[in-house]
Amino acid sequence: MKFLSVANKSLVFVLSMSTVFATAAQAVPRPIVPEPALRLHFASHQPKYTVKQLPSGKKMKLHFVGPLIFADGDQALLLSYESDFKLDDMSKLKKEVEEIWTYFKQDASLQGFKHAVITVREEPEGPAAKTARVKNFLFEQKDTKWSCLTDPDVGAPTPEEDECDKAADFAKDGKFEEAIAHYTKAVELNPKSISALLNRSTAYETIGEHKKALADLSALLAISPNYVVAYVNRAWSHGRHKEFAEALEDCNKALAIDPKCAAAFNNRAAVYNDLGQYDKSLDDSTKAIDLAPHLAAAYDTRGVARRHLKQFQQAIDDFNKALSLNPKLGEAYYNRAQAYKAIGDTTHATSDEAKAKELGFKKE
């Protein structure tokens, strides 16, 4: 069963998203990252931007999320949006950029970018105006810490964010009790901290505190009822405990808010696998792959469905693809081993099971 927990402070910014996994042994939060192949709208009958909602409820007019290549060959993750504020109103503009950056910086970190750019557009007014005014905020990461090179006061860490950063460092090392302590301090500083509640819930789930994990996610949804990531994570949490009706309900809620949420399709497919509804799983996992072709877990989920449907070679092909995208996905090695067993290839099956064990995967 491969459910996705999507966490940290990353935001569903783009039309299709996916989940990047850490090693299976660590079971740390699995954040959503932007699909870089988002196409801009140019045709006159299409909208020039996509309206996306921040967890706070504020709506933003998103133009683009994707890689930007500098003249020296270095790359940055770019987010371009249209603001309702004038570029001259720097006080309001900086607050808006800071809110977006709170979530966007996690996306940049998880994709390995050392630079990120937020481009704010102010649309021209009047029939004679042809060119939009823009302002760029350039961010750089050094030693895991981000700073704004163009406006140093933008994105300066708050005490709450410092606690979340400390917690994240402990979580990466598998020290979840210590991580929870720091996330709790962050919540004490800001009871509405989306990052702290989201990540603490994943840490609780990882150490077996299922009810506490659900409580954090429910508290988060009380703050931000349309926060897709919270529904996806709660589905993951329910799925781990075979609460399949609840998991399906949360996946459906996520998809009602964002019909192109790849993680929600994958989680629902994983539920269908556990329920033995393999045709439905095949359909949903294929949708997840279509939306996010670099989503390793979706190939693993589809491979499980195909193995049970006795499509063994196609299943192996899916597991191969999953492992090409994430070589440390222990569950994919285990699942590929079962497909090899089904066709009588005990040599490869034994090798894959050993690799899954080496990576810390244990069949639930």
Each residue of 295-327: pLDDT tens digit?
899 999 999 999 999 999 999 999 999 999 999
Fold assignment, 157-224: 1.25.40
Q: What is the mean pLDDT of the chain?
A: 83
* Average pLDDT over every residue of 337-345: 97
Q: What is the pLDDT of residue 339?
A: 98
Strands 50-53 and 32-34, bridge-based pairing: unpaired
Q: Specify whether the backbone of 27 is left (phi greater than 0), alpha (psi in -120 to 50) or beta.
A: left
pTM over 0.85: no
Domain boundaries, the chain: 50-156, 157-224
Task: Label residue 39 by pLDDT band (50, 70, 90).
Answer: very low
Q: Find the farthest-apart pair of alpha carbons in the chain and give their distance in angstroms, rounded.
A: 73
User: What would the pLDDT profile of 196-253 be if each residue is shown by its tens digit?
Assistant: 999 999 999 999 999 999 999 999 999 888 888 899 999 999 999 999 999 999 999 9
pLDDT at 47 over 60: no
* Burial environment of residue 129 by CB neighbours within 10 A (0 to 12, 13 to 18, 19 or more): exposed
User: What would the pLDDT profile of 80-126 be if each residue is shown by its tens digit?
Assistant: 999 989 998 999 999 899 989 987 887 787 677 889 999 999 876 66
% of the chain surpassing 70 pLDDT: 84
Q: Which two tokens stand for residue 146?
A: 């981000």
% of the chain surpassing 90 pLDDT: 54
- Name the least confident of 57-66, 196-205, 242-251, 332-341: 57-66
Q: What is the pLDDT of residue 108?
A: 83
pLDDT at 180 over 70: yes
Measure the CA angle with vertex 260, ends 256 and 261; round to 5°. 80
pLDDT at 25 over 70: no
pLDDT at 26 over 50: no
* Burial environment of residue 118 by CB neighbours within 10 A (0 to 12, 13 to 18, 19 or more): buried
Q: pLDDT: is 116 or 57 the higher one?
A: 116
Whether 275 contacts 242, CB under 8 Å: no
Q: Which residues lie closer than 8 Å to 225 by C-beta, 6 or more apart?
A: none
Task: Label residue 153 by pLDDT band (50, 70, 90).
Answer: confident
Measured distance CA(219)–CA(216) in Å, rounded:
5
* Burial environment of residue 241 by CB neighbours within 10 A (0 to 12, 13 to 18, 19 or more): middle
Q: Cα dihedral sign for 246, 236, 204, 221?
A: negative
Measured distance CA(32)–CA(242) in Å, rounded:
23
Q: Which residues of 201-223 are buried (b: 16+ CB within 10 A; e: fewer)?
A: bbbbbbeebeebbbebbebbbeb
